[in-house]
Amino acid sequence: DARVTQTPRHKVTEMGQEVTMRCQPILGHNTVFWYRQTMMQGLELLAYFRNRAPLDDSGMPKDRFSAEMPDATLATLKIQPSEPRDSAVYFCASGYRALAKNIQYFGAGTRLSVL
Amino acid sequence: KNEVEQSPQNLTAQEGEFITINCSYSVGISALHWLQQHPGGGIVSLFMLSSGKKKHGRLIATINIQEKHSSLHITASHPRDSAVYICAVITGSNYKLTFGKGTLLTVNP
């Protein structure tokens, strides 16, 4: 049963620490998305990749956030330094080809708490 | 004002009732997604629509591009349908997703 795998599921850290979240997309999917969900803002698109190339990261605070795809089986989202306002659930999703053509498959999310 | 507005925000129904959740948007879109988020937090993509209607089991999604409106219907609702239903539209050449705030559906037995 193919699924998007995110690690860790939960992360508690102190303000100022680096946080790295990982995502393994479904094999064969060539599009990867990072989303953030908070009570106040709901779901927001942070960044997305097609064929490992970043296509849009306009939703991501550039000063502290970075997203990469070192290979087709791994996407990472880093926050350095982390701040309490970064506390949220971060979802990764993968799909095939363009968003307008295909369903996205979501990971279970990483729940981040920055103290 | 949000680009994507959902109504109602909260909906409580009795098992067996017909449910309608609405989504209105103010921008030109290339497609619209309906997502379901379970109480445990997992998100499932239900439908992707660019025109007309789609049906999957007891779920039906419709879209009217001219009126910038989509509806999600659930027939013969069941307590397991209790979840947050989120509408998301795809805009721009980079396929940017913009989300509604979600509709919390509770179906009581």
Task: Write out pLDDT tens, residues A8-34.
Answer: 999 999 999 999 999 999 998 888 999
Contacts of A101 in chain B (CB under 8 A): 48
Predicted pLDDT of residue B91: 79
The answer for residues whose C-beta is within 8 angstroms of residue A42's C-beta and 6 or more apart is: B86, B99, B100, B101, B102
Task: Please report the pLDDT score of residue B13 as a whole number.
Answer: 97
Is the pLDDT assigned to residue B98 strictly greater than 90? no
pLDDT computed for residue B93 by the predictor: 61
Q: Which residue is listed with tokens 């067996």?
A: B16
Whether the bond between B8 and the residue before it is cis, its omega within 30 degrees of 0, is: yes
A14 at B interface, C-beta within 8 A: no
Q: To which residue do tokens 């094999």 refer?
A: A27
Of the given ranges (A70-74, A97-101, B46-50, B89-93), which has the lowest mean pLDDT? Answer: A97-101
For the CA atoms of chain B, what is the radius of gyration? Answer: 13
Share of chain B above pLDDT 90, in %: 74
Q: Do A100 and B50 touch (CB under 8 A)?
A: yes
The residue to which tokens 């791994």 are assigned: A74
What are the tokens at B2? 């949000």
pLDDT tens sequence across A46-103 = 998 888 888 888 888 889 999 999 999 999 999 999 999 999 999 999 987 655 556 7
Query: Residues 6 or more apart from A69 whose CB is under 8 A from it?
Result: A32, A49, A52, A54, A75, A76
User: Taking a C-beta distance cutoff of 8 angstroms, is the pair A32, A6 a contact?
Assistant: no
Shortest CA gap B24–chain A (Å)? 17
As a whole number of Å, the end-to-end CA separation of chain A is 36
- A102 and B48 within 8 Å at the Cβ level: the answer is yes
Position B56 scores a pLDDT of 92
* Position B23 pLDDT exceeds 60: yes
Ramachandran sector of residue A51 (left: φ over 0; alpha: ψ -120 to 50; beta: rest): left
Match 């097609």 to its residue by tokens: A50
**Do the chains contact at A43 and B86, CB–CB below 8 Å?**
yes
Q: Is the pLDDT of residue B53 over 90?
A: yes
Tell me what pLDDT residue B71 has.
98
Lowest mean pLDDT among A111-115, B24-28, B33-37, B55-59: B24-28
Please count the residue pairs, one from chain A and one from chain B, whose beta carbons lie less than 8 angstroms apart.
Answer: 55
Pairing label, strands B43-49, A10-13: unpaired
Query: What is the distance in angstroms between the Cα of A16 and the nearest Cα belonging to chain B?
Result: 27
Which pLDDT score, from 0 to 100, does residue B8 have? Answer: 97
A55 touches chain B (CB under 8 A): yes
pLDDT at res. B1:
59
In terms of CA atoms, which chain B residue is nearest residue A54?
B94
pLDDT (mean) for B50-60 = 94
pLDDT at A55: 82
pLDDT reported for residue A69: 94
